[in-house]
Amino acid sequence: MTASELPTLTILLPVRNEEMNLRVMLRITRTMLEYPHEVLVIHDAADDKSIPIVQEMQAEYPGLRLLHNQLGRGVVNAIRAGAAAARSDIVAILVADDTGPVLVVDDMLALMRENCDFVSCTRYAHGGRRLGGSLIGEILSRTANWLFFHVARSPFTDATTGCKMFRRDLFQKFGLASRPIGWAFAFEMAIKAQHLGLRLGEVPLVSIDRLFGGKSSFRLGPWFAEYLRWFVWGLRRTCANGAWRRPPIRVRVPVFYQI
């Protein structure tokens, strides 16, 4: 990709000492995406162990950039910084320790080209699966998504997944207000996308949590409180608007999930 060529897609990749996962993640991303794209690896600390990996790979990966988040610690602030720095009109959020979402980026982009404004992945429907990770985290995630789908009439079967794609010019409309606790902002984005009346899409993925090791930042108390906060916010908004009819959503199942 030349300096003057605008990328088709910007990928935001927040990191915190992901040196064990990042090299593999970037190699898979570069191999899978055959169109001009950029990857913004966003770090909070100047001594993050992910930085040397990016610097080493930049010579062979022209669209790879480092971005120092100076808006405050936490993934939500990294996403704010990344969205502001993105050069493409379409932005994807991926997770550095999960290679599964990379395999479905093309299908997410296809939905965006079919006029979706916001696309989320799902681990719980249409052939999607969740492998690995904390058992407590999985129970909470499945329970929250089941309740939100059936009670709050969410169109998403997995609103809490961090893998999202959206139009950059709509980002400010989300008005992200999540506390910097884990990936709660992704849940907030899905809820607000529903109530903003955006055109929605969903793609299944097989998620393998922390395949290459490392330590998760999952903490039951703070995470539960923040996710509950947005669950209640979304349910109250549904009640206040009388929006009991589930919004339409376009689903695209990757070819290799249909085999």
| pLDDT, tens digit (0-9, with 9 covering 90-100), for 34-68 | 999 999 999 999 999 999 999 999 999 999 999 99
Q: In this predicted structure, what is the pLDDT of residue 140? A: 82
Q: In this predicted structure, what is the pLDDT of residue 20? A: 86
Strand arrangement of the beta sheet that strand 249-251 belongs to: 64-68, 37-43, 9-15, 90-93, 164-167, 118-122, 200-204, 249-251
| 4 found inside a domain | no
Q: In this predicted structure, what is the pLDDT of residue 203? A: 98
For 21, the 3-state DSSP assignment is helix
| 251 found inside a domain | yes
| pLDDT, tens digit (0-9, with 9 covering 90-100), for 112-165 | 999 999 999 999 999 999 987 777 778 888 988 999 999 889 999 999 999 999
| 173 found inside a domain | yes
Banded pLDDT at 222 (limits 50, 70, 90): confident
Q: In this predicted structure, what is the pLDDT of residue 208? A: 82
| 1 found inside a domain | no
Banded pLDDT at 258 (limits 50, 70, 90): low
| 239 found inside a domain | yes
Query: What average pLDDT does the segment 84-108 reach?
Result: 95
- What total number of domains does the chain contain? 1
What is the residue range of 50's domain? 9-257
Q: What is the DSSP letter of 35?
A: S
CATH number assigned to the domain comprising residue 135: 3.90.550.10
